[in-house]
Amino acid sequence: MSLDQKFDEAALKVKTFTKRPTDQELLEVYALFKQATVGDNDTDKPGLLDLKGKAKWQAWLDKKGTSKDAAKEAYIKLVDEMAVKYL
């Protein structure tokens, strides 16, 4: 199975979790997904009152410089670890 196939499978697996991961885990999953699919964050920082948006934006920005393939591998590994707790 190719890296892209494993990544797509992991992305589907996240949607089947029966329990809600912690906010920090969700931010990490989000940031790795965005880095793997879009690349480095070059979007404008969300407004002052958008706390959730700013947290997501910062988590993604923290992945800057990570290659898409490395982000995919980290995403797959994280989802597999989370699946043990949340499936």
The CATH code for residues 3-86 is 1.20.80.10
Residue 8 buriedness (CB in 10 A; 0-12 / 13-18 / 19+)? middle
- Please report the pLDDT score of residue 24 as a whole number: 98
- Please report the pLDDT score of residue 39 as a whole number: 98
- State the Cα angle at 58 between 56 and 60, rounded to 5°: 70
**pLDDT tens per residue across span 28-77:** 999 999 999 999 999 999 999 999 999 999 999 999 999 999 999 999 99
Q: At what angle do helices 51-61 and 23-37 cross, to 10 degrees?
A: 60
Q: Please indicate, yes or no, whether the overall pTM of this predicted structure exceeds 0.85.
A: yes
- Cβ atoms within 10 A of the Cβ of 81, count? 11
- Please report the pLDDT score of residue 71 as a whole number: 98
